[in-house]
Amino acid sequence: MDIQSIAMQIIVNAGDAKSSAFKALKYAKEGEFHKAEKSLKNCKEKILSAHKIQTDMLQKEAGGDNVEVNLLMVHAQDHLMNSILAKDLIEEMVSLYSRLNNNEENSKAETA
C-alpha cells in the first residue's frame, strides 16, 4: 500500500475517533452516560486502528525498510496525536460530569 493511502487511513480513523470523543462529551453534558461510554468505546477502537497502522510502519522501518515520510504523513500523525489527547481529556470530563450528576441527584434526594 502506498504512503498516501496509509496516511489517509490514519487520518480517517483518527478523525472518527475525535468525533466520537466529542459525541461522548455531548452525551455526558446531557446526562446520557451510557451513550457517552459507548461513544468513548468507539473512539478507543478507532484510535487502536490508527495506532496499529502507525505501529506497522514503525516496525517496517525498524526492520530496515525505507519508509517515506511526507507532509501528508506528518498531518496524519498530528491527527492521531490530537485524537488521543481529545480522548484522554474527554474521558476525564465525562467522569466529572458523572460525579456532578450524582451529587445533584443526592442533593435532590436529601431535600425531598
75 is catalytic: yes
Q: Which residue has the cell 511526507?
A: 70
Phi, psi of 20 (to 5 degrees): -65, -40
Q: What letter would DSSP give residue 64?
A: T
Catalytic residue among 34, 51, 75, 79: 75
What are the b/e assignments for 34-60, b being 16+ CB within 10 Å? Answer: eebbebbebbbebbebbbebbeebeee
Check whether 78 is labelled as a binding-site residue.
yes
The amino acid at residue 46 is K
Supply the residues annotated as catalytic: 75
Q: Detail the residues annotated as belonging to a binding site for Mg(2+).
A: 78
